[in-house]
């Protein structure tokens, strides 16, 4: 949504007031998203989150405390380190992530607004290995992380392990925008080149003038419980770790509400028609794997006498479990976040998805609210 | 989600049972979406909703009762009428909308599943007028509707006026899929031609093998109330009819939850930071204008002492209103669904959005739940 914040177009119906920090930040971000020259002017004074081969650079917390923080880098530091490795820090590789207070002293009473600087994600790819082994690739990652501090880790692990939720969201946003920037190079209508905004939040066709925005795929994820509320239906997806059961999820399609999508996915995947409408489980979450999903949580009620009839092209298994079984799997997941000791029985419920995922939150919420 | 329903891959953990009609329908639709030969085989026995220049063909209810029904057409009837006008009924112009029972007698106890046929949307464009006036265009619309029964009406009007919600959803889905089918012709990554599934629910790149699905843009729409719950904040969008005020809406962005998007849009558009987290207002709705939006409803609380500071690039006005003022506008909207008599004062709240829109539902719900 276009804002012209710096051009005094905001009117107030009473007296002028100083915008809250939050409002100032959101309006500044909006300005940068749309105004390429303003965005580019922020580049050299910005801070950067580096993604190498889709892995963000993070640092461990002190004394081996659990969790990570993003390794935020100043422009000149990153530029120098990249240059030492034969790489260039370019605006075309960067996407706008967030804004942060540039200098705490500038937020004084005499200043009307805090001075903000941009935080960018920068995505780089290791050059192809020159030989049959990947020694060259490993060494760029090692060498860059040694120069900059921290280490590159899997983006999904980073999202689940960040100390601050705001930083997990920055990983999600960086992953999504950098991917979109790599993918959307041609106009889907006419095939001409697309021109990206400096913020990477819009792409314009150079020929037919159509505008494209980063694609988001809304997903309905639904926990199915029975009428007694003593049991829930969980499913095993073939690609997940042994012993992990989760809620049913699927992409929303054109013409559907999120609620319609939840009902349809349950019918498709386990052959069950819910007894009533689903209700929202009070959480949605951006989840950029494999693409940019927007996970929206629901709870539905089904008749437990109806056994699931599994679509084996999608799922490995689906079963009703008691509260006690689910609570045990929840505790096992908290104690063993890497889900490393599943039971030998392939159908046994050993774990639920790890903390930080929306499915974990939904199942925890169900366990707590009886 | 790929299903192989006809290949007996569904297992049931107890005894075999007859799937509910709903499950059978959802699994049949899934099968058609993914299996081009199965989908194409349905074409000649399918039913069709015709869109001419993006306008669906509808019929009025008897005796001028309010509301419309879709004019569903048999394949041969539509083919003949198009042929009489020099047009061809082609699979490439059709998108899968829904499934319906082919023949009521086939759903007997002896048959395991109901026999379903497909409902398609078919999108045609009037040929360019041969002269400076548009007499030619008007006559194709008139002549086709005379031949087929019913009339072509604006798709937005159709969505708001269908007697059955399921038919309104079919208009939304047809509008969205036909638009996507027209727009996604080239791979956004490599520029090669895309090959559409017969159902128009997926496009595959002929060169780089990437798969694309119809794009949906999730939107957070939020009604802001004050702490007393006696007032709500409504806004005027410049493109809407005079006197209409509504809730604040904006597109969700990568890395955000729906709840984050609602908070951000309120900050951007009216300069207000909400006092607490937003809560879901129990409804989402597909809304295909101008693109494929998925509207998700929320309610938020703000301090009424903070006057809105309007972003005039987005909005014309924003104001706090009392319950009485909103109730009067709600009543006026019910009585005058075409919103034809706004007050002379441009800032006066005369109407809310019409029945059938999510904003109408949210405002009605707020009025009813105090």
Which range among A139-148, A179-188, B71-80, B126-135 shows the weakest confidence by mean pLDDT?
Answer: B126-135
- Measured between beta carbons, the chain A residues lying within 8 angstroms of B27 are 267-268, 271, 311
Please report the DSSP string for A338-349 in residue order: T-----SSTTS-
A217-368 — its CATH code?
3.90.79.10
Res. B24: pLDDT tops 70:
yes
**Per-residue CA distances from B317 to B143, B266, B307, B360 (Å):** 44, 13, 11, 18
pLDDT in tens, B249-278: 999 999 999 999 999 999 999 999 999 999
Task: Give the count of beta carbons closer than 10 Å to the beta carbon of residue A53.
Answer: 13
Please report the DSSP string for A256-277 in residue order: --HHHHHHHHHHHHH----SS-
Angle separating helix axes B75-84 and B135-148, nearest 10 degrees: 150
pLDDT in tens, B68-124: 999 999 999 999 999 999 999 999 999 999 999 986 554 444 455 678 999 999 999
Residue B258 makes CB contacts below 8 A (sequence gap 6+) with A284, A294, A296, B218, B220, B252, B296, B298
Instruction: Say how many residues make up chain A.
Output: 370
Suggest the residue from B49, B192, B255, B275 to mutate for an interface test with chain A (most A CBs closer than 10 A): B255
Mean pLDDT of A340-361: 91
- What local confidence, expressed as pLDDT, does residue B134 receive? 53
* Spatial distance between the Cα atoms of A194 and A185, rounded to a whole number of angstroms: 5
The DSSP H or E segment spanning B171 is helix B165-183
CB crowding A104-139: b at 16 or more within 10 Å, else e:
eeebeeeeebbebbbbbbbbbebeeeeeeeeeebee
Res. A235: pLDDT tops 70:
yes
Contact (CB<8Å) B267/A27:
yes
Angle separating helix axes A358-368 and A323-335, nearest 10 degrees: 130
Between residues B66 and B172, the one the model is more confident about: B172
Contact (CB<8Å) A258/B184:
no
- Measured between beta carbons, the chain B residues lying within 8 angstroms of A217 are 213, 216
**Among A residues 260-279, those touching chain B with beta carbons less than 8 Å apart:** 260, 263-265, 267-269, 271-273, 279
pLDDT tier at A111, thresholds 50, 70, 90: low
Contact (CB<8Å) A268/B180:
no
Percentage of chain B modeled with pLDDT above 90: 77
Which range among A6-20, B226-240, B282-296 shows the weakest confidence by mean pLDDT?
Answer: A6-20
Q: Are strands B217-226 and B293-302 parallel, antiparallel or unpaired?
A: parallel
pLDDT tier at B290, thresholds 50, 70, 90: confident
Rg (CA), chain A: 24
Instruction: Tell me the three state secondary structure of residue B69.
Output: strand
CB crowding A140-166: b at 16 or more within 10 Å, else e:
bbeebbeebebbbbebbbbbbbbeeee
Q: Does A207 touch chain B (CB under 8 A)?
A: no
Give the alpha-carbon dihedral of A244, A246, A250, A256, to 10 degrees.
180
Mean pLDDT of B228-247: 95
Contact (CB<8Å) B14/A307:
yes
Suggest the residue from A166, A167, A254, A269 to mutate for an interface test with chain B (most B CBs closer than 10 A): A254
Chain A: closest CA distance from residue B160 (Å): 14
Q: Which two tokens stand for residue B145?
A: 């509707």
Res. B4: pLDDT tops 50:
no
pLDDT in tens, A41-95: 999 999 999 999 999 999 987 766 678 999 999 999 999 999 999 999 999 999 9
Angle separating helix axes A21-34 and B258-270, nearest 10 degrees: 90
* Spatial distance between the Cα atoms of A95 and A56, rounded to a whole number of angstroms: 14
Please identify which residue in the block is written with the tokens 């039971």.
A343
- What local confidence, expressed as pLDDT, does residue A20 receive? 80
Contact (CB<8Å) A254/B19:
no
**Among B residues 32-91, those touching chain A with beta carbons less than 8 Å apart:** none
Give the residue extent of every domain in chain A.
14-196, 217-368
- What local confidence, expressed as pLDDT, does residue B9 receive? 39
* Spatial distance between the Cα atoms of A174 and B97, rounded to a whole number of angstroms: 36
Which of B9, B267, B292 minimises the CB distance to A312? B9
**Per-residue CA distances from B12 to A226, A267, A271, A272, B22 (Å):** 18, 14, 9, 11, 17
Res. A230: pLDDT tops 90:
yes
Where in A108-197 does DSSP place strands (E)? 116-124, 151-152, 194-196
- Exposed (0-12), middle (13-18) or buried (19+): which is B311, by Cβ within 10 Å? buried
Q: Does B156 touch chain A (CB under 8 A)?
A: no
Instruction: Say how many residues make up chain B.
Output: 370
**Per-residue CA distances from B19 to A296, A301, B297 (Å):** 27, 18, 33
SS3 content of chain B, % helix, strand, coil (to 5): 35, 30, 40
pLDDT in tens, A14-39: 334 556 899 999 999 999 999 999 99
Instruction: Tell me the three state secondary structure of residue B350.
Output: coil
Chain B: closest CA distance from residue A228 (Å): 21
Chain B: closest CA distance from residue A202 (Å): 11
Res. A328: pLDDT tops 60:
yes
Instruction: Tell me the three state secondary structure of residue B101.
Output: strand
Helix ranges, A74-164 (H): 75-84, 135-148, 155-161
pLDDT in tens, B60-78: 877 666 789 999 999 999 9
Cβ B329 vs Cβ B351: under 8 Å: yes
């Amino acid at each position: 949504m276009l804002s012209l914040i710096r051009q005094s177009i905001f009117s107030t119906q009473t007296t002028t007031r100083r915008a809250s920090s939050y409002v100032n930040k959101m309006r500044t971000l909006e300005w940068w998203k749309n105004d390429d020259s303003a965005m580019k002017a922020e580049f050299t004074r910005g801070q950067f989150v580096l993604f190498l081969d889709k892995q963000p650079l993070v640092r461990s917390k002190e004394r081996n405390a659990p969790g990570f923080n993003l390794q935020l880098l100043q422009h000149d530091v990153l530029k120098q380190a990249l240059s030492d490795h034969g790489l260039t820090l370019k605006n075309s590789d960067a996407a706008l992530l967030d804004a942060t207070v540039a200098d705490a002293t500038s937020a004084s009473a005499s200043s009307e607004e805090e001075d903000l600087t941009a935080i960018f994600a920068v995505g780089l790819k290791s050059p192809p290995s020159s030989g049959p082994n990947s020694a060259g690739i490993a060494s760029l990652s090692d060498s860059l992380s040694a120069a900059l501090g921290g280490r590159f880790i899997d983006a999904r692990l980073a999202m689940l392990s960040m100390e601050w939720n705001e930083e997990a969201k920055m990983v999600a946003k960086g992953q999504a925008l950098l991917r979109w920037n790599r993918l959307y190079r041609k106009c889907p209508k006419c095939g001409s080149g697309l021109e990206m905004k400096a913020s990477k939040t819009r792409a314009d066709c150079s020929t037919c003038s159509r505008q494209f925005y980063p694609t988001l795929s809304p997903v309905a994820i639904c926990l199915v419980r029975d009428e007694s509320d003593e049991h829930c239906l969980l499913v095993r997806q073939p690609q997940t770790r042994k012993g992990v059961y989760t809620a049913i999820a699927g992409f929303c399609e054109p013409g559907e509400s999120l609620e319609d999508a939840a009902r349809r996915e349950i019918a498709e995947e386990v052959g069950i028609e819910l007894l009533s409408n689903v209700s929202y489980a009070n959480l949605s979450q951006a989840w950029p794997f494999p693409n940019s999903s927007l996970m929206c949580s629901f709870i539905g009620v089904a008749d437990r006498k109806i056994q699931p009839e599994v679509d084996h092209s999608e799922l490995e298994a689906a079963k009703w479990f008691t509260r006690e079984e689910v609570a045990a799997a929840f505790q096992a997941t908290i104690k063993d976040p890497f889900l490393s000791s599943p039971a030998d029985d392939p159908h046994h419920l050993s774990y639920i998805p790890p903390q930080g995922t929306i499915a974990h939150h939904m199942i925890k919420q169900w366990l707590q609210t009886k």
